[in-house]
Each structure stands twice: as structure tokens, then as C-alpha cells.
A and B are shown apart, each in its own frame.
Chain A
Amino acid sequence: MSSRRRWMLILSLCLATFGGVVALLPTRSSGEVTPQMPEWLETAALHRLAQCGSHDSVPVDWGLCDMASVSAVLGKSTDLLTATELSAQYYVVVAHGEFTYENARVGPGAIPTGDWIVLVIDPTTRETLTFGIGEGSLDTSLIADVARTTL
């Protein structure tokens, strides 16, 4: 093998390795590298996914944002919330798939099914303050610095 061919081979291997590493990293929608989902948050999300009948890999959008953004993602109004409540920060995790929440506390009627589930979690206490399931789709681009992963 000539010296030139040898260098071409080494360069190709380096590019392939770099590409593989980048492909394995969690990315933002824009393709930027983002921090990995905290382990405790992933555990909470996986548990809820299992509760809703999901045992396969599903796409998950998540991020840390204020209450105003959380409300916008969920399509809920904010006109009765205070400025303090609107500025509070929460982790939002939205999973996309087909879900049935048989453990829902519901009034007399059918149990909820949906195309997404969402968790709103206090980053300090790690409490899940709101859990939801619903039809259609949520605009997760409204989550500041939204990241996508698979759980």
C-alpha cells in the first residue's frame, strides 16, 4: 500500500469513528450537543412509560423551562397565574407514542388514552407535580433548549 493510500485509510477510519461517536450523543433539535438527561429524571420517565403500557423505545423531548413555557406546550392558559408562578422552573418530559393510562384517577367514564404523555417535575424536590396524557400532539419546540432522546 502506498503512503498516500495509507493516509487516506487512516483519515477514513478517523472520520467514521468521529461520526459514530457524534451519532451516539444526545442532540438538540438543531443538532447541537446537549447534556444527558439526569439519571433520576430518566428513571421517573421510564417508570411512567411502563405504567402507560410502553415497553419499546419511544422518542422523548425534554428540557428545563419556566411555567409560562410549560403552559404554552400544554395549551393551557396562564391568565390566573401570578408572575412568581409563571417564572418557576420545571423539567418537562414529553414522550410520543401510543399510551393507555389504566391507573388514572378518573371520574365515571373511560380511562384516558393518548399519543403522548407528559411529566412536569420540580427540579429541586424531584417531585412529579403534574402527569398528563392526551390526544394529538404537543408543540415541544416551545420548551427552551429542548433535547430529544430515546427511552
Chain B
Amino acid sequence: MNRRGVACAVALIVCGLGLLAAEASASYLRCYAVVHKNDTSAQWNGARTNMDIHNGQIGTTDAQNGYFVADALWVYDVWNGWSASNNQWVEVGYTRGWEDDSNPGNNDVLTLYWTEQMWVEGIGYQYYEHKIRTSIAAGETYWGKILYLGGGDAGYAQWGVYIDGDPADSQWWYSESQAHDHAHNLFCGLENTASSGKLGSSSNHVEMKAVNKSSNGGTSWQTWAGDGLSETVDSGSTYHCHGHWQSDDPTTANWQNYRNW
């Protein structure tokens, strides 16, 4: 092979590696814009948030690749950090980017959903996502709630998932996770994996149900205010992710974490 041939071959290899790298990095795009409460001494009984439904958009290509944008509430039984694989949580929210069962590969459906990750004796860590219902529309508001129900079998903690006060109407509506009595970490806000994803202007009114550590029986809902956090998560109307650390972080104080991962 002459020099020109070698140069062409090298150029092709470099281009190929570049494309692979671009593809790899694209697949790891994931942004959060959330409020976060972390208190290891707390024992929260649950949390709830109102979800103002917006149509949002994720773009045709992102939808075909399974990317999505979601507005959600997370209650962690165990949270070991941003990169940990052994977290245990229950999540409820709405999303654009759900699978269209009548047309697999078209993932542009708007739906209410809930997910869970927990540890199960004899099996290991499990992650599940559950469809609640797709008959939702922009302009509607739903209350999503995750509530501690007590201890289940074999020392597991049970968490119920509710929409407007009723159990989420999929075949399951509750989760069991390894017992770490109650929750010490709460998140609420946006999760985005679509480069063009947005959910319009979203406003979450979030509350937590606190439980006194000694009495173990809190019954009243409290707002997030008073702990340095606002009760409102305002995602803004032009929220975007671009696959890198954001330089244009929202300036509102209630955006506590805004990062790619």
C-alpha cells in the first residue's frame, strides 16, 4: 500500500472511531433538573407532587431511539449517590417518549407511569417500569403520591403509588424494597435523555409527609419550604439538554442539581 493508501486507511479508522465515540456519548445523555432533599436523620413517610401535564416534544429520531423526557417524583429508600447502582427508589410521574404498543419502535406516547428499583432476596437488584395510563392530555393536572405503607414480607418496606389519591391502576400499585425504615432522600423535577426534549413550562408543587422518628406516625403533609428549598419546581419553557455540563443553569434557587450523567 502506498502512502496515499495508508493515509486514507488511517483517516477512515479515525473517522470510524469518531463516529463510534459520538454514538457512545450520545447514548449517555441524561440530564436532571431537580430539587433534592437529603437528610439521613429524617424518616419521611412519603411525598406527593402535582403534575401539570404538557405535551412536550422529543423529536422523531430521539423517539425512535427510545429517548424521553419525564417530570417525576422520586422517593429513595436507599440513595448511595449519582453513580451508584445499588440505589432503591420508587418514582411516579408523566413522560413523553413511552412505547406505543400498537406500533413498536414509535416511542412518542404521553403517559402516566411509575418505576421502581429494589433488591429482592435470592434474585438481586431489579428495575421495573409500569404504565399507569395514556389517556392524559395537556392542561390536566394529576397528583402523584408515594406513601410508606409499612413493613411487608421478610422485613421489606412497602411503598404505595397513587394518582389523585387512588392506587395507580396498573396491575401493580406498590413496591417492596429492602428495609431501610422510611425515606431519607427525595427528588422532584425533570429527567431528560432526548437532545431536543422538553416538557414546556412545568410547575410541580411538591410536599413531603414527614414522620417523627420516635412516634413513627406522621399524618400531615408539609411543604418543602423552610429547608432552603422552594415547594415549586419550575422547569422553564425552553429547557434543553445538550450532552454536556450546562453553562446556562437556571438561576432560580430551587434548581439544586442540574447535571449530565
Minimal Cβ-Cβ distance residue in B for A137? B123
Is the pair A107, B122 in contact by a Cβ cutoff of 8 Å? no
Q: Which of A90, A110, A136 contacts B171 (CB 8 A)?
A: A90
CB distance from A114 to the nearest CB of B (A): 8
A75 to B156 CA separation, bound complex (whole angstroms): 12
Q: List 13 A-B contacts (CB under 8 A).
A: A74-B128, A75-B126, A102-B66, A105-B113, A106-B115, A108-B261, A111-B30, A114-B126, A130-B129, A133-B126, A133-B127, A134-B120, A138-B123
Is the pair A43, B104 in contact by a Cβ cutoff of 8 Å? yes
Q: Which of B117, B122, B127, B131 contacts A129 (CB 8 A)?
A: B131
Q: Which of B85, B160, B170 contacts A110 (CB 8 A)?
A: B85
Report the contact-size class of chain A (Cβ under 8 Å from the partner): 35 or more
Report the contact-size class of chain B (Cβ under 8 Å from the partner): 35 or more
A44, A88, A106 — most chain B CB neighbours (10 Å): A106
Is the pair A129, B170 in contact by a Cβ cutoff of 8 Å? yes
Residues of A contacting B: mostly: loop
A132 and B126 contact, Cβ closer than 8 Å, known pairs A77-B152, A109-B81: yes
Chain B residues with CB under 8 Å of A135's CB are 123-126
Interface bits A118-130 vs B (CB < 8 Å: 1, else 0)? 0010000111111
Which of B1-9, B94-102, B242-250 forms part of the interface with chain A?
A: B94-102
